[in-house]
Amino acid sequence: MSRAHQQRSAHRDRRPHWHRPLAGVAALAAAVAGISGLGAPAATAVAAGVSAHAATAAAAPVLVSTGKPTTASSVEASGFDAAKAVDASASTRWASAEGVDPQWIRIDLGTAHTISRVKLSWEAAYGKTYKIQTSNDGTNWTDVYSTSTGNGATDDLTVTGTGRYVRMHGTARGTAYGYSLWEFEVYGSPVSGGSDTTAPSAPGSLRATATTSNSASLAWNAATDNVGVTGYDVYRGATQVGTATGTSYTDTGLTASTAYGYTVKARDAAGNTSAASNALSVTTQPAGGSGAAVPFGSHTRPYTAGTLKPSGAQGTLDQKTIDYYTHWKSAFVRQNCGNGWYQVISPDADHPYVAEAQGYGMVIAATMAGADPDAKKIFDGLTKWTIDHPSSVNPDLLAAEQDTACRSVNGGDGATDGDMDVAYGLLLADKQWGSAGTYNYKALAIKHINAIKKDELNPSTNLLKLGDWSSSGDQYYYITRTSDWMVDHFRAFRTATGDSAWDTVRTAHQNQITNLQASYAPNTGLLPDFVVNTNTTPKPAPGQVLEDPNDGAYWWNACRTPWRIADDAVTSGDAKSLASARKVNAWIKGKTGGDPNKIAIGYKLDGTQISAGSEAAYFAPFALAAMTDPGSQAWLDALWNKMLAAPIDTSSYFSASIQLQVMITASGNHWVP
């Protein structure tokens, strides 16, 4: 038996970075400033007629920056994006990269405004030397305020200037950190008679880039505008079916062998709309060809009654998911080492290729069929990879780790989490494309499922083992990982094989979830990364048993459990899965006061936070638990919007892959083969 996996953590390098307790420091700085009268920094007025002093109680100008599009020179980490500085929340903030000058943050007011006041609410990482600047085009800037003696806390500035864009441009930090603002407030009013009334030009050369039996992928040339194009509206006939910020869109849920007509219009920030592009007729492919049987966006398998989805048009939810998938695919899907292989790379793992990533890739590729014309090609390349990298213990399973030369390493044995998703992905592929092509997906799936049962399932407990490398008599034989407990996969395995043993396995895992929640997390519903003593009295790991001192906490494995539990709850309506998902949802919603920005990185089972910060692997899965509670629509919407606002972390396949699969379910596109 290989011991390689005793220290394996496919995502251990994603351990949270330490964050200093800045909120308290900022509060102290604000208090000191208020007491000593040092709240506004010494400053130098620049440009004629500009004053730089604290705003008085005279006629209060109007706040015009809240919720406006905001960009920044850099972001310290996920959860500190520029939009946090204009969200009217004193508990969220923008933070730049640390230790680097210069940095800036820019607000787009949409139209030209007369600016009379700017208020900067600094976190402890403040600007010592900075300027406030305005611009009409986002390129040429005019200084309306500057200082070289900034001292943090709150800078409430009276300025005189005009422009559509307002920027804080920092050139010298006041601390060793970066620049960070709780809020960046701009006050003023639209320029009288100066509103933008010029519409963008029409988008050019609308064309089809791909079709399937159920989808049409479109692209067009960018429109131009006197100020700037902010988006495009896509029309099928006279009906708007979606929006795009870029110059491409995939329309899904179409009928085979049917002609559809499309046009696209451009929009600017003032709401002006262009004339329509050229009209385009697109005919979908015949049914039964290479098109998918359950194309992304078709929604032919509805969720259980009462399940929530994020607010908004279904087409918009689908397109946001497609957009994120496109970024994920670009960041992580590769064709390395030849041999017809596709792989999902894992830059944040111990090795460049891990089974967990390939399993994610297979499930995602099969699900996105109909939205991505290359889905089957990618899936087949991943399938060839799994066939060509067999486990050294059971060749019908996948070796868990490969090096940069695409060779299996560390004993070449299997890991249960990857194998579960590989088998499930093959079942999805069989339903999507049938098994009469290059690969007999169904036969491969059944071989994989039977191999899981033989070498990755403990026959005495009916609970999953850590991998095929653990055998009777070793110290890991009665340890199981909660993130491997994929209840909907067990249902699919039962259907595919006809083996009632999978019903027993499913029930055993659901019972463990219920018992662990009741006995060890009665107030939170959280599960631990690892469970020990599964042959006697199962309990959370007492400390490090495989990966980390937090093996018994809600940490980098268990953070996936709300997603896995809820996937079954929304598709099966199973009472146990619903109860388990709702329990953890009620706790996290109450813990954060309905603010997803307060979701931390890791918790003890009693709800005590382990680490500060924000990570998609932690906040995204809670969205699916929220879907199970009819009273959590606002909470679900907040979580969905946080996912949309969080830029994809191209250094972490782990978090990005989790968020993508959460978005697939949240948008109504998860289904069980």
The full DSSP string for 83-131 is GGGGSS-TT--EEPPTT-S-EEEEEEEEEEEEEEEEEEEE-SS-EEEEE
Q: Where are the alpha helices (DSSP H) in 339-464?
A: 355-367, 375-388, 416-433, 441-455
Peptide bond into 102 cis (omega under 30): yes
Backbone angles phi, psi at 651, to 5 degrees: -95, -5
| Catalytic site residue from 268, 417, 419, 649 | 417
Strand locations in 191-298 (E)? 204-211, 216-221, 229-236, 239-244, 248-251, 259-268, 280-283
Task: Write the CB contacts of 407 (distance below 8 Å, at least 6 apart in sequence).
Answer: none
| Catalytic site residue from 156, 268, 356, 488 | 356
Backbone angles phi, psi at 342, to 5 degrees: -115, 150
Backbone angles phi, psi at 321, to 5 degrees: -70, -40
Q: How far apart are CA 374 and CA 342, in angstroms?
A: 12
Let me know if 547 is a catalytic residue: no
What are the C-alpha distances in Å from 481 to residues 61, 542, 560? Answer: 57, 14, 11
What are the C-alpha distances in Å from 9 to residues 168, 350, 351, 455, 527? Answer: 41, 7, 10, 20, 18
Give the length of the chain.
Answer: 673
Q: How far apart are CA 656 and CA 324, in angstroms?
A: 9
Q: How far apart are CA 481 and CA 529, in angstroms?
A: 6
Nearest to 490 by CA among 517, 463, 461: 463
| Spatial contact of 376 and 369, defined as CB atoms under 8 Å apart | yes
What are the C-alpha distances in Å from 488 to residues 291, 366, 564, 570? Answer: 25, 16, 8, 10
Nearest to 360 by CA among 163, 106, 563: 563
Let me know if 417 is a catalytic residue: yes
- Amino acid letter, residue 590: G
Rounded to 5°, the CA angle 187-188-189 comes to: 145
- Amino acid letter, residue 652: S
Q: How far apart are CA 356 and CA 402, in angstroms?
A: 12
* Catalytic residue IDs: 356, 417
